Amino acid sequence: MKTFYLAGYIVWLFLLNLSWKGYAQNEKLRFEHININNGLSNNDVNTIKQDSKGYIWIGTLDGLNKYDGYKFTTYQREPYNSASLTMNAVRGIWEEADGALWVHPVNSDLNRFSPTTETFSVVNPLPNKGIRFDSRLLQDLIEDNEGMVWVYNEIGQLCRFDRTNYRISGGDYGQLILNNPYNKNNEGKRIEDLFRDKKGQLWIGGSEGLHQVHFTLNKSGQPSRISFTHYWHNPKDTSSFPPVGGIFEDHEGKFWLSSFQGLTCFDPQTKQRIKYTHEEKKGNSLSDDRVSGVAEDAQGNLWIATLNGLNRLDKDRRQFSRFYHDPADPTSLGGNVIMTLLIDKSNTLWTGI
């Protein structure tokens, strides 16, 4: 069995079908795996996404792969083809509303992939009013309801650019997110996640808490003015909003905020929060406070990836079931440190260990 590498960690990519209607009290999860023997271009995997058509896209250190459930199609750099991928090491993948893909190769500008022509074009946000965005350090990307693209990078830049001309609009909003009045220590401050909820509202998560983006209509033809509502994290107040490493919305519209301080359920309507943490003497609590991802299956159960086991929170949100690596069972998880989690449209759970 081959290994996958994700963000510097050795991982196993496991697949688990969740299509059954019920769960036994002490059921065993049985995983399958895919690797280069199935046609994957490389076992060093950086990112896994599913597009609106159901294809699984896997970015590796040696090419971009499209998986249709049966075979892989691989896209790689072709030295004399300007419409090919600019570099083979793919760090991030995102989908536009029209089905085009944004692809970020390592140490390269953004690539935009057209699924119609199956060609790539190079995109670098154009400067505006002295603001230049370094897309080679890109961390995340998302499109808002006005068709503008938000991007942030490793050095704390948060910008918005027009998809029609790639020109940056407005300013650099990074410091508005990172300038926490309750935390004057700038060390370790960073944005972690850009998220658009089911209503189209944009949210930003990071070390300093959760931030809601507001759009105020401007003059005709001009981009909206941007403002924020901040839910600040106060390092000196344990009852304050937690740091936010990732945002997931369930079928009820509630947000599940992952961090290394546990899992928080946040209702954006009532503003109420419920925190879930590991309790040493409680076997049906979260297996570990270091949460790396959240997904929801078709039955309404939540699956939570941690750095010490996989968890399932029942649809009533009352009790966790824990699943760990079993050295005696080759179909179990390959390890307990789970770095990535996805439930696809066929209700199959993908985990990267």
Residue 228's alpha-carbon distances to 179, 215, 225, 266, in angstroms, are 12, 9, 10, 18
For the stretch 274-326, pLDDT in tens is 999 999 989 899 999 999 999 999 999 999 999 999 999 999 998 999 999 88
pLDDT value of residue 21: 46
Whether pLDDT at 33 is above 90:
no
Rounded mean pLDDT of 147-168?
90
Whether pLDDT at 52 is above 60:
yes
Please report the DSSP string for 156-209 in residue order: S-EEEEETTT-BEES---HHHHH--TT----TT--EEEEEE-TTS-EEEEETTE
The verdict on pTM exceeding 0.75 is yes
For the stretch 326-344, pLDDT in tens is 899 878 877 788 877 888 8
pLDDT value of residue 222: 74
pLDDT value of residue 31: 79
Backbone angles phi, psi at 340, to 5 degrees: -150, 150
For the stretch 186-224, pLDDT in tens is 889 999 999 999 999 999 999 999 999 999 987 776 778
Side chain identity at residue 293, one-letter code:
G
pLDDT value of residue 26: 57
pLDDT value of residue 87: 94
Cβ atoms < 10 Å from Cβ of 347: 14
Q: Are 277 and 286 in contact (CB under 8 A)?
A: yes
Lowest mean pLDDT among 49-53, 125-129, 252-256: 125-129
pLDDT value of residue 7: 34
Residue 75's alpha-carbon distances to 65, 103, 179, 199, in angstroms, are 6, 11, 40, 34
Rounded mean pLDDT of 37-47?
81
Q: Are 307 and 342 in contact (CB under 8 A)?
A: no
Whether pLDDT at 9 is above 90:
no
Higher pLDDT: 351 or 349? It is 349
pLDDT value of residue 221: 67
Contacts (Cβ under 8 Å, ≥6 apart) of 289: 260, 261, 262, 277, 278, 306
pLDDT value of residue 353: 67
- The partner residues of 111 in beta bridges, in order of sequence, read 103, 122
Dist. CA 350–CA 153, nearest whole Å: 27
Quick check: helix, strand or coil at residue 38? helix
For the stretch 130-150, pLDDT in tens is 889 988 888 889 999 888 999
